Every structure is written in structure tokens, then in C-alpha cells.
Amino acid sequence: MMNETLIGPWIRRFLVEHLVCERNLARNTQRSYRDTIMLLMPFVAGKVGKTVDRLSIEHVSADLVRLFLLNLEESRGCGIATRNQRLAAIRSLARFVGENSPEHIAWCGGIRAIPFKKTTKKLMSYLDKAEMDALLTSPDCHTAQGRRDHALLLFLYNSGARADEAARLTIADLDLLGSASVKILGKGNKERRCPLWPATARELAALVANRGPGERVFLNRCGQPITRFGIHTMVERYAFRARARMPSLATKRVSPHTIRHGTAMHLLRAGVDINTIRAWLGHVSIDTTNVYAEIDLEMKAKALAKCEIADENKPGQHWREDRSLMNFLRGL
């Protein structure tokens, strides 16, 4: 029988049963929750002078959780966003324990009362069309690796896919006949289908020729499936190379997600409906997609020009020089 006072068995149930079986969270989310607990448990054990296996639920007090979050910021150099992400995982664990163990409801309430720290929202970085073109022309398409890298960059821009989504893409997910499209498995195992430009379809067709449907589309130089970290490194390498032709890239931190933001902005400027963009990128909420409309200064300027009022005080029309007005005033 499970010892309900020790936190270890609850953590096992939380990670294996709750996150996987009950909530079916994405693998990366599961790892994020696991990593938070791997940081928290040794910290608490060191503070209370016990081994991790002998920690009880009550040992993980709200005060120690607050100290842990402070330690993340001061000792590990984590930002507020990371701190809040760790707290969200801890609060989720507390809620799970409280829902299944009524005697720990008070403890659960104390943990869940720890507030998230307010953070300033940074402006979203994205690539302009000229910057994206410079990035796409950086690979040397006379080599096999250059052609693969160009196809990958073009696919990221065309689909707006996340790095992890591109890394997990299989040849069976591609439909390159007729109206070409791709099936992408996104966050929370949600599927979406995106159209492919003819140029993208041609590049991908050449890349996957004579290969089996179960293979990954994008391979590294060793012939193994590329990882999301490999995609990040590849994008950063070509962004650095493209600076020679596009100096503005030196002021931006270019990543696969920057390309994703650029895809959304360019679709928006092309007049694509915001709901279509939401489905294109795989956003659950329209509020996430609305961020692109809020930051687009070019579209704001065009909207402002359409509603601009006529300037009645043009040069030479100052009220002191309006003779009819002055005569009217003198006649009062």
C-alpha cells in the first residue's frame, strides 16, 4: 500500500498516471514537469536534512517553495518566465495531491496561493521579407547538405512549423501530388494540415526520393534524424552568414521560432484571415494569434492613414489670415 505521507509515490503517480494517462500532455511538457521536480526535491532535502526518498508532503512547504523559486532567479540566473513555468508545474502537482488526498487540501492551498511573478512582455522578433530571402539564399545548393538545409529553411518558412515539429516530420506526412500539403503533429498531439508552395514541394520531393514512408524527412550529415537542437544550430549558422548581405540580421536573435513569427506576419500582411493563420500555426486560442496583429506597425500605419482627418489648418490658412473670419469678429 502507498505511504500517503511521503511525496515520492505521489510524484510517481503524478508523472506517470496524471500527466500521461489522464491529461495526455505532450512529451516535452512531461519532461518540463519532471525537470522541475528534479530540481525541487534535492533543494528541499538539503534544507530539511533528509534524503529525497524520505521527504514527506509537509516537508515541501510553501515557504521552501518560495525559497526554491528565489534560488532559481538568484543562483541559477533563471528569468521570470522560467520561474513562473517551474511554479506552474509545482502548483499542478499540489492540485493533483489535493484532489486525491483530502487531508492534504490545506497544504495544496498553501502551495497554490504562491503567486506568479509579473513580467514585462517583450516585443516579438520576426524576419522581414528581405531578411527571410537573405536567409533562404545562404545555403550552398551545389552541395547535398546545402540543398537539404535550403529545403528545411523553405519548409520552416512555408509551414510556420516549430523546430520540434519539423524534426519529427516523416515522409508519410507529405502529400506532394497535386495540391501539395503536409500533415504536422503539433503541441498536445494536435494535427493540422498546411498547404505547400510548388517550390517547397519540389525541394522536398528531391530530398525524400527513393526513401521509405516511415523515415524522417530531414536527416543530419550522418544520415540520422535531425534533432530540434540541430535545426536551431543550422538556422543560427545561416543567419550569421546572411549578415554580410543583410546587416539588420545582426540586431536580431534568429531562431526557428523567429522564422515562424515571420511566416505569421507575412500571411497577415498578405490579407490572410486571422483565423486561417491560427489554424496554419496550430494555435489553440485566437488570442495567441492576435499578438501578430498588435505588433505590426506597418498595418497600423496603413490603418491610421485610412482614417486620417483632413488638415484644415494648411499653410497660409492660419485663422489670423482668414479675412472673412476677421471681418466677422470685428462686426460683433
Task: Spell out the residues 6+ positions from residue 134 whose beta carbon is closer than 8 angstroms to its own.
Answer: 242, 245, 246, 249
Catalytic residue chosen out of the listed positions 86, 216, 260, 278 = 260
Place of cell 516579438: 124
Contacts of 83 (CB under 8 A, 6+ apart): 69, 72, 73, 117
Which strands, in side-by-side order, build the sheet including 174-175? 174-175, 181-185, 191-195
* Cβ-contact 102, 57 below 8 angstroms: no
SS3 219: strand
Q: Is 66 a catalytic residue?
A: no
Active site residue 261: no
283 is catalytic: yes
The answer to whether 168 is a known catalytic residue is no
Catalytic residue among 13, 34, 187, 245: 187
Rounded Cα–Cα distance for residues 281 and 162 (Å): 9
Query: Which residue among 104, 192, 257, 278 is the active-site one?
Result: 257
Q: Which of 59, 150, 168, 283 is catalytic?
A: 283
Is 187 known to be catalytic? yes
Give the Cα separation of 332 and 330 in Å (integer): 6
Share in percent of the chain as helix, strand, coil (round to 5): 60, 5, 35
Label each residue of 137-156 as H, E or C. CCCCCCCHHHHHHHHHHHHH
Active site residue 260: yes
> Which one of 18, 86, 162, 278 is the catalytic residue?
162
User: Which residues form the catalytic set?
Assistant: 162, 187, 257, 260, 283, 292
